[in-house]
Structure 1
């Protein structure tokens, strides 16, 4: 069955999603999840999370190699953002992306946030 790599939301470790992940397993999916983003010194938390995207990419690459096929990257909130960025950076790893309540902005809203960060109206 298909591989699902699940990424948790900010402040919610992977174990929080036990019921969801077990439900997917019962339906035949191979489910893997990073337990905690932001707790591995090899992948420090920085502005816009490039290291967390790389952490997910490295984790996914190992799981894809074991499974022999690309994964569905599924993420809640921050995890959905990281999944999208990972798929954009490493398209060979992703069969598809599912975002659950993820904070992605586009158009003028994204431009406004970018300006606010550059002018230090908000933290970067």
Structure 2
């Protein structure tokens, strides 16, 4: 929940975590949580597995300041997720379904490598 984030958390300023965008995107997460349950992993692990499934030369670079999250991320390399679950995640969360830009307009002007 955005209201529970620390004031300096970067997501507090991201449009997709605000107002109607946030309400719509929360619904996506509810469906994603069902996929997580089917996969038998954590949300972060499913996200990492999805990123890695995008191509042979794609790498996931998750960041964290919390050791337990780092260990969770590393453990993603040991879990198996079916192609059906990865395809369902891809169909669920994508350019057409996520509402709101990732960055505020002022910040996006400085970012030339990332649109989604």
TM-score (norm. length: structure 1):
0.28
Which is richer in strand? Answer: 1
TM-score (norm. length: structure 2):
0.30
